[in-house]
Structure 1
């Protein structure tokens, strides 16, 4: 069984968890791999992105400087340094680092993708699209760039184009729950609720602990009147994200639909305590047991 802990296997496990947005799990595997093979460069751009997602500024900064010191001319080192600057919100420095990575290796697709993500953060959508297309030119099967284009198109309200690109990404990486959730989201935005629900269900099966996806599935079930199924999802979700106001708001709506006034008010009240900023819409929901009130779910 010793082969299970080789650096290559640990890196593959780290990548697999990264693909499903299980960043904390991914980090554990990459950390083990670094202990065993501190000079290994492969996948370090992914490890640095994992640390970026986890907001681990000190760890990311340390990794970036170690890589730059030991492998000054590697694109991985410059991607890590770019991610460190990005987390410190210095977008200009981040972009310089990602650009340096692409100069060192013009076929290193991920550096173009990170450039694209940075432009998206700056709301520079044309520049982002250019960077993502450069990533695809460097590697036709680099699904992250198709995902990036999809995200930009979604932000611009071009849901058909977004769907096409998310679908292209998913055809390269078929079991990626994040991509399948994105497909569901653009379908839902086009009022195609049943196909969206199918996508969310598939994504939840692949990544059962992804709270955001389960929330979207529960909300879709509630929208199509499948109250028992929605309740089942929300009970799981309540354990996954107990302090998420939107979850309790949705539970309030569910119990209101079931005519369970007491339970409904209870969950609306918990939502209010967790997110006082949303007080107006929650109070409206409590007062109107007939009308439908939407809550901003940007947290989820």
Structure 2
């Protein structure tokens, strides 16, 4: 689980995250007054505007303003310019805590963790109540897998008068990377309750909660996290897919159908072409005896030819795919009829059919029962004939 437990783990120095190509703040909609406080501009994500307003006048800009210019370049992934403006800030004021913090962050991001630690420790000595400086120091230790020191600094960051929202999340990230899933989950819930300003970080926390709860088969709690994610981002198709899985597992089939309908609409509008669900999406996970089954539904709809509509991957107790069961849909020849489903099983090099067909209008729950009977051996197979 180490290194992979925290999905969408935020970049240690570059925030905020993007999600499905969207951001929660629209740069174009922000109206910036010439005298708008630079800190407020930075919090709004107006990095280009900061660079244009303050970066072009380095002689008249203060060390703190130049530090924000450097940070803006970090957020825009331009580290050479970030380093240049951080150096300018330190030259202007060698005791600027923010300039030292930014310089330390840049050094660490470039792989010089020792210098990064030194610079940020200097920043902390100058401004010991700045929570983000402790968070930045914790990030460096986290990047080096020194979780004890990382945790110490994150805890300091959340116990200051103006605590760091990111640090609440990173405490959970530490526990997750130590394989302490329960404590990680508990901490992510704490982070969820504490994060108010950084909405993208809030989304990251929701993703982690959703994944851990889902992996623990706590589908109700997982569905709450994924539902909230889809409210933030209606085009978060991954979370919509997980909602379908959660609702089917809970027996909330009408809710699953609503989420499926949204996925089908996205498919028809061409919005899934470059995604992992461009052709099909997962609808369910269930067990039959000692075998785990993952069910997928294909988007394709054909009015005139046979297509594979459902695919069920059957894994043995060791997690290896033992067989694959598909439901082939054949449209009715007469208009107004429902068509039919023919189950087919592939097991190794052998392919089998069955002496049964099913109505094409059957609900997924009934189709799931059909597959369970096949896996249980309640339906006799025969050599496949197309």
TM bucket (normalised to shorter chain) is: 0.5 to 0.7
Task: For 1:236-255, list aligned pairs within 5 A.
Answer: 236-251=228-243, 253-255=245-247
- Report the CA distance shift for 1:95/1:56 in structure 2 as closer, same or farther (over 3 A): closer
Correspondence for 1:160:
148
Correspondence for 1:276:
275
**TM-score of the two chains, using structure 2 as the length reference:** 0.54
Q: Provide runs of 4+ in structure 1 moved above 6 Å.
A: 25-30, 259-262, 267-272, 278-285
Instruction: Deviation per CA, 1:152-198: give whole Å up to 9, x if none.
Output: 22222222322222112111256543221111121122222222222
Correspondence for 2:106:
118
- Choose from 43, 47, 70 the match for 1:50: 43
CA distance in 1, matches of 2:171, 2:53: 34
Task: For 1:18-167, list aligned pairs within 5 A.
Answer: 24=25, 31=32, 34=33, 38=35, 44=38, 46-47=39-40, 49-50=42-43, 54=45, 56-57=47-48, 59-65=49-55, 68=58, 71-72=60-61, 74-86=62-74, 89-167=77-155
Q: Can you give the 5+ residue segments of structure 1 that lack an aligned partner in the other structure? A: 1-17, 294-300
8 Å Cα contact 1:48-1:83 kept in structure 2 = no
Aligned Cα RMSD in Å? 4.3
Q: CA deviation at 1:24?
A: 3.7
CA distance in 2, matches of 1:143, 1:30: 29
- Choose from 184, 203, 206 the match for 1:211: 203
- Report the CA distance shift for 1:181/1:75 in structure 2 as closer, same or farther (over 3 A): same
Q: CA deviation at 1:147?
A: 0.8
CA distance in 2, matches of 1:197, 1:161: 21
CA distance in 2, matches of 1:133, 1:124: 14
Q: When you count strand as a share of all residues, which structure comes out higher?
A: 2
Q: When you count helix as a share of all residues, which structure comes out higher?
A: 1
Q: CA deviation at 1:243?
A: 2.4
Correspondence for 2:225:
233
CA distance in 1, matches of 2:232, 2:56: 36
Correspondence for 1:10:
none
- Report the CA distance shift for 1:104/1:56 in structure 2 as closer, same or farther (over 3 A): closer
Equivalent pairs, count: 261
The reply to whether residue 181 of structure 1 matches residue 169 of structure 2 is: yes
Correspondence for 2:347:
none
CA distance in 2, matches of 1:252, 1:186: 30
CA distance in 2, matches of 1:64, 1:158: 37
CA distance in 2, matches of 1:268, 1:124: 45
CA distance in 2, matches of 1:65, 1:228: 49
8 Å Cα contact 2:171-2:187 kept in structure 1 = yes
- Report the CA distance shift for 1:206/1:118 in structure 2 as closer, same or farther (over 3 A): same
8 Å Cα contact 1:167-1:183 kept in structure 2 = yes
CA distance in 2, matches of 1:90, 1:25: 21
Bigger CA radius of gyration: 2
Secondary structure of residue in 1 paired with 2:184 = helix
8 Å Cα contact 2:42-2:68 kept in structure 1 = yes
Q: CA deviation at 1:280?
A: 11
Q: Can you give the 5+ residue segments of structure 2 that lack an aligned partner in the other structure? A: 1-14, 17-22, 283-293, 297-311, 321-386
